[in-house]
């Protein structure tokens, strides 16, 4: 899985800009949480770039809590950890958290972003 890193306000603006072209996934990960580590591993193990047109971004919310807060504010979502958000046209069209994070959830979010 080829993660891009979301670690600054500049990279958050890149997410928003890029989402005008295609869906962007934000994975908010707590490096101190075993559930978050399991969700990340499950997502990476099942990731199939041929089945999705989504660009994945990784946010270490322990190291970049201020950016995590800006993500919640920008997209109007309640902070969760772990959490995925599907961004299209600068808006969050889908989000889920904890054990609901999966590659199937990414595909569902991608479909929701097309409506």
Task: Please give the share of the chain, as a percent, with pLDDT higher than 90.
Answer: 86
Q: Do residues 75 and 6 lie in contact, with contact meaning Cβ atoms separated by under 8 Å?
A: no
**Contact residues for 109 (Cβ-Cβ < 8 A; gap 6+):** 23, 25, 54, 84, 86, 93, 94, 95, 96
**Ranges of each domain in the chain:** 4-113
pLDDT at residue number 57: 98
Helix (H, G, I), strand (E, B) or coil at 89: coil
Length of the chain in terms of residues written: 115
The CATH architecture that domain 4-113 belongs to is: 3-Layer(aba) Sandwich (3.40)
Which of 21-30, 69-78, 103-112 is least confident?
Answer: 103-112
Residue 92 pLDDT greater than 90, yes or no: yes
- Dmax (CA) for the chain in angstroms is 35
Instruction: Report DSSP state, residue 46.
Output: H
pLDDT at residue number 40: 95
Residue 115 pLDDT greater than 80, yes or no: no
> Could you tell me the pLDDT band of residue 54, with boundaries at 50, 70 and 90?
very high
**Contact residues for 35 (Cβ-Cβ < 8 A; gap 6+):** 82, 98, 99
**How far is the C-alpha of 36 from the C-alpha of 39, rounded, in Å?**
5
């Amino acid at each position: 899985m080829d993660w891009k890193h979301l670690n600054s306000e500049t990279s958050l603006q890149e997410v928003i800009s890029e989402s005008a072209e295609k869906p962007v996934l934000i994975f908010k990960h707590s490096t101190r949480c075993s559930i978050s580590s399991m969700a990340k591993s499950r997502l990476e193990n099942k990731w199939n770039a041929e089945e999705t047109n989504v660009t994945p971004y990784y946010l270490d919310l322990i190291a970049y809590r201020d950016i995590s807060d800006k993500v919640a504010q920008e997209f109007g979502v309640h902070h969760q950890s772990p959490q995925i958000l599907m961004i299209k046209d600068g808006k969050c069209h889908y989000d889920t958290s904890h054990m609901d994070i999966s590659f199937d959830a990414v595909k569902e979010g991608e479909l929701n972003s097309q409506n």
